[in-house]
Amino acid sequence: MPNSSPNNASSFLGKEKTWETMGRPSSICLFLILGLFSGLSLASAFDGPPYDSSAYTECKPHAEKPLYNGGILEDQQPEYTWVIGAKGNPVYSPAFRLQNLAQDTFYCFSTWVKINDAGSVLIRATLVTETTIQNCTGTVVAERGCWSFLKGGFVLTAPSSSSILYLQASEGRDISMVLSSYSLQPFTEEQWRLNQQYKINKARKRAVAIHVSSKDGVELEGAEITVTQVAKDFPFGSAIAKTIIGNLRYQSWFKERFNAAVFENELKWYATEPKQGQINYTIPDQMLELLRANQIIVRGHNIFWEDPKYTPEWVLNLTDSMLQSAVNSRIKSLMEKYKEEFIHWDVSNEMLHFDFYEQRLGRNATLSFFETAHKSDPLATLFLNEFNVVETCDDVNSTVDTYISRLRELRLGGATMDGIGLEGHFTVPNLPLMRAILDKLATLGLPIWLTEVDISKTLTKETQGLYLEEVLREGFSHPSVKGIMMWTALHPYGCYQMCLTDNEFRNLPAGDVVDKLLKEWQTGTLEGHTDGQGSFSFHGFLGEYKVTARYGDKSVNSSFSLSQGDETRHFNIQI
């Protein structure tokens, strides 16, 4: 549910069509099959369309057709009315009057926007009900003379008989804009979950058929089959800190659950070189050794942090030429030391909010960081990493279009940048907005990772668990998300925002959620017999498997990999 704050909201109250994905018979059949797999009510397959993941990030000469044929806005035209702008001034804005919005319903909003003012303008959608204001339910950076696509959404914590959804320039400017192909599509909680499960089954699982025959090719009916998933393909893990060194209980707890890790602070420049020339990798070496021993992959976080507050003090006092030499030495030292050890490197951390190195070394400083890092370790995937991109659209520094623009700028400049890092420090998740932002980022064709997921400590531990499950399900179900890391490194004093356990490794509510999902998102062990054609089939999560086939007094052990693919994976065993 989105964050909403009480306000004197009552003072605010005053196309084309598409069949992009809805209504296709194949979609309905898939949803019926999904209902059989998931145990969800089949009725939900018929009372709402499949979620439409279409998104656009280029300004176009013509607006595309509306999603969901316009949804509940199909026969409605926007009206232009005076609303209170971002700076408290009256602004003449396009708006939609909405009647009888339901509680706990997922509303997906989209529209194409064209402005007539010069330059580009950040446009924000705001929802006002009788009792609450959601300042941002979607944004787009609109450009003059062409059509830009805004995609977002909201969930209400209470029903609303009369609401207004309006668009305005984020800085409160009174600008001229027109809308086209607008849409507002509601989904019930059950429909939303059904869409999630469909995406999980499609992106994270695959059909398998194991065929058992004799040495001369005769199909063996009734052969006993035992299949066990021994490794998961999807990287799911957490941050760790140096507190794991020597703590056998922590190590055991971690390796029983996770196949991926990231160091919380131990690789940051202030940790490895607190004084100029005094480089010490002892602690990260010990942490890496633990992970390597347990076959856990690890992300490199981070090479540079643009926030001066977390830049070594001695670095802040360097001249420009000395700083250039220092950053070159930092990359060389770090990357040569750990070449091919880390699957990723967060090359630039939080550059949408801070720009220390670009202020000092010029606009191309970040591009240079990527170039040098890639030369030092060509096998590592290089990331930008940023907060408040997927958590909210309220932060004008890190809207999805701002992030996309920066990513494109670096790639056009020649940066070998292959990953999009989304920190994911949530307070109250807005799932329709989160999914819409992931859809827009997915248009770049780069792997997306949720790199630092947690829920604010301002909430109760029970609420943290509830919201963590929402975020993890949303991330895992989006096909462009290729890994999830939680920011839950354990210290004697607790964790940054959210812990999974107490200091005795007893689960907190968030830990219960993680354990539940870990069990849900694995195939585990399956047992059965081959059919009349000598086959045993199942639908399994991607990863590594061991299989044992027994027939009479003979048995065979084997293994196979289950990677992503649309076709059934066929595996043959001879006894």
Supply the pLDDT for residue 1. 39
In sequence order, which ranges of 49-117 are alpha helices (DSSP H)? none
Can you list the positions of beta strands (E) in 76-119? 79-84, 90-101, 106-115
Residue-level pLDDT at 32: 38
Does the structure show a pLDDT above 90 at 46? Answer: no
Weakest mean pLDDT among 11-15, 226-230, 391-395, 517-521: 11-15
- What average pLDDT score do residues 277-305 get? 98
Residue 2 has pLDDT above 80, yes or no: no
Does residue 412 have a pLDDT over 80? yes
Q: SS3 string of 7-37?
A: CCHHHHCCCCCCCCCCCCHHHHHHHHHHHHH
Average pLDDT over residues 148-161: 96
Question: What is the mean pLDDT of the segment spanning 533-545?
Answer: 98
Report the amino acid identity of residue 52: D
- How sure is the predictor about 211, in pLDDT bands with cuts at 50, 70 and 90? very high
- Compute the mean pLDDT over every residue in the chain, rounded to the nearest whole number: 91
**When comparing pLDDT for 71 and 34, which is higher?**
71
pLDDT value, residue 375:
92
Mean pLDDT of 559-567: 97
pLDDT over 80 at 27, yes or no = no
Q: Which of 350, 423, 469, 470 is catalytic?
A: 350
Answer whether residue 530 shows pLDDT above 70.
Answer: yes
Does residue 494 have a pLDDT over 50? yes
What domains are defined for the chain? 67-187 (2.60.120.260), 239-454 (3.20.20.80)
Mean pLDDT along residues 383-402: 97
Round to whole Å and give the CA distance between 387 and 118. Answer: 30
Interval 427-443 mean pLDDT: 98
Q: What is the pLDDT of residues 177-197, one digit of tens each?
A: 999 999 999 999 999 999 999
Question: Is residue 524 classed exposed, middle or buried when 0-12, 13-18 and 19+ CB atoms within 10 A define those classes?
Answer: exposed
- Concerning whether 452 is annotated as a catalytic residue, the answer is yes
| Residue 416 binned pLDDT confidence (cut-offs 50, 70, 90) | confident
* Options 452, 469, 470, 474, the catalytic residue: 452
Does the structure show a pLDDT above 80 at 155? yes
Nearest to 497 by CA among 571, 424, 409, 396: 424
Residue 204 pLDDT greater than 50, yes or no: yes
CA distance 438 to 532: 45
Q: How confident is the model at residue 86 (pLDDT cuts 50, 70, 90)?
A: low
Judge whether 111 and 95 are in contact, CB under 8 Å: no
pLDDT at 293 > cutoff 80: yes
* Cα distances (Å, whole numbers) of residue 405 to 111, 186, 444: 20, 30, 11
- pLDDT, tens digit (0-9, with 9 covering 90-100), for 297-342: 999 999 999 999 999 999 999 999 999 999 999 999 999 999 999 9
Q: What is the percentage of the chain residues whose pLDDT exceeds 70?
A: 91
- Give the pLDDT confidence score for residue 48 in this predicted structure: 67
Q: Which two tokens stand for residue 496?
A: 């940054």
Concatenate the DSSP letters of all residues of 315-336 into one string.
HHTS-HHHHHHHHHHHHHHHHH
Annotation marks residue 350 as catalytic:
yes
pLDDT attached to residue 89 = 75
Q: What is the mean pLDDT of residues 32-57?
A: 61
Model pTM score: 0.91
Q: Are 22 and 183 in contact (CB under 8 A)?
A: no
Instruction: Write the CB contacts of 276 (distance below 8 Å, at least 6 apart in sequence).
Output: 312, 314, 315, 326
Provide the pLDDT for residue 172.
73
Say if residue 246's pLDDT is above 60: yes
State yes or no: pLDDT of 387 exceeds 50: yes
The region, left, alpha or beta by phi > 0 then psi within -120 to 50, assigned to residue 498 is: beta
Instruction: Indicate if the pLDDT at residue 92 is higher than 90.
Output: no
Q: How confident is the model at residue 98 (pLDDT cuts 50, 70, 90)?
A: very high
